[in-house]
Structure 1
């Protein structure tokens, strides 16, 4: 049902049966699918589908798994029937590791293979866990949340910040537990995306991704969270990386 607000558990809406390809977009730490509110539902032949994680927004009453491995397993179960066309996962910062783990588990299980993995502003799994949030106390994490909420064009409300502080803390601890000294090398290619004004993860820090698979590097203009604005160059890269070669070029 195109344009419908119907929920399907892990997704905000029922995927289009006519989509030629799908990109599943995973929100970063402490956030829900609202970070993709500026993204189009589709572009040409590609459908962009924000993934709703447990413990936030429409799934607020659900418990978030304790590890990336458990989260990836549950996500595969929830999304499985929608992996019937060429697909890719896009993850930014924290969720880039979720996207990698989902792609890796599908490969290990011999399930549907992703066409490509897109990772933005994150070090390769064998180079972590890292990140300044790992050393933050609750007050510092609350300040981070307020900044993220403002970046999304909203005003931080104390009660909302208090609620999502628990979500962010759980996400940070999940990242702390993700230790992958010998990551599975993916059979699908990887696109590692950096941002010129990113003070969180500099593009050069992403150099470890070729250990995880054949990797192409892209650097786009902007700050750490510019992806929320759906920059055209990012959408074009996602389109080019997931469509069948017989589809027309992105315009």
Structure 2
């Protein structure tokens, strides 16, 4: 099955934006973005295997392998300029995808890293090894999942395996200093994010050789971009110098 969900194909669009979800997330997280990016951008949200309409497929538990698979799947879609946007786990995977595509001679024009500590400074958070209640508690602390919903045993049985897989993936990620990234990076963060505060997020400056790394901060927790979706999309469009449209 395809790695990407595109709500509306736009053959006239001057640029493609590939969006990578957080741990436990799916392509639906970016579904409402498609209209707001406007006609000049064709948005493709990555659908990781093992969830949603790819529930029957084996999950990927290694970040470097996941990046290789995504980069390979992108190949037919690199006939026009493109950018990468990743939130939380998705930011680190997007960084690895950017490095792979840079090596292959088709780098993105920009990388947007949202709600994530930088690849070389992952912190000490360990969630994957917790029991189910502990995993639900961790999700509630981050603010992106309704803990009450996950009290349903049937839903837990469906959701928690891929949530645990994703936390294990990012907690097991090992940074490789080479090759250096030569792509502009913009970092986006919530000012009260318990996982990636603005100070930690600013360290993304150390992973690119493409000049200044801009940091943008909004009020909110790890999922600040839910409440500030329009402003975040506006920041992306301004950075990419494409028209802001309805």
TM-score under structure 2 length normalisation: 0.86
Match of 2:204 among 189, 201, 209: 209
**Corresponding position of 2:21:** 27
Match of 2:146 among 128, 144, 150: 150
SS at match of 2:84: strand
Q: Does the 8 A contact of 1:30 with 1:145 survive in 2? A: no
**Corresponding position of 2:195:** 200
Cα 1:250–1:17, aligned 2, differ >3 Å: closer, same or farther? closer
Cα 1:196–1:129, aligned 2, differ >3 Å: closer, same or farther? closer
Cα 1:229–1:87, aligned 2, differ >3 Å: closer, same or farther? farther
Q: Distance in 2 between matches of 1:187 and 1:47?
A: 24
**Corresponding position of 2:220:** 222
Q: Distance in 2 between matches of 1:149 and 1:203?
A: 22
SS at match of 1:149: coil
**Corresponding position of 2:183:** 188
**Corresponding position of 1:127:** 121
Question: How many correspondences in the alignment?
Answer: 238
CA-CA distance at 1:166 after TM superposition? 0.8
Gaps of 5+ in 1: 1-7
Q: Does the 8 A contact of 1:129 with 1:176 survive in 2? A: no
CA-CA distance at 1:18 after TM superposition? 1.4
**Corresponding position of 2:157:** 162
CA-CA distance at 1:53 after TM superposition? 0.8
Q: Distance in 1 between matches of 2:129 and 2:117?
A: 17
Q: How does 1:1-251 map to 2 (within 5 A)?
A: 9-13=2-6, 15-41=9-35, 42-110=37-105, 112-128=106-122, 130-133=124-127, 136-145=130-139, 148-150=144-146, 155-156=149-150, 157-180=152-175, 182-213=177-208, 214=211, 215-229=213-227, 231-243=229-241, 247-248=242-243
SS at match of 2:57: coil
Gaps of 5+ in 2: none
CA-CA distance at 1:98 after TM superposition? 0.6
Q: Does the 8 A contact of 1:142 with 1:162 survive in 2? A: no
CA-CA distance at 1:249 after TM superposition? 5.7
- TM superposition outliers: structure 1 runs of 4+ over 6 Å: none
Q: Does the 8 A contact of 1:64 with 1:71 survive in 2? A: no
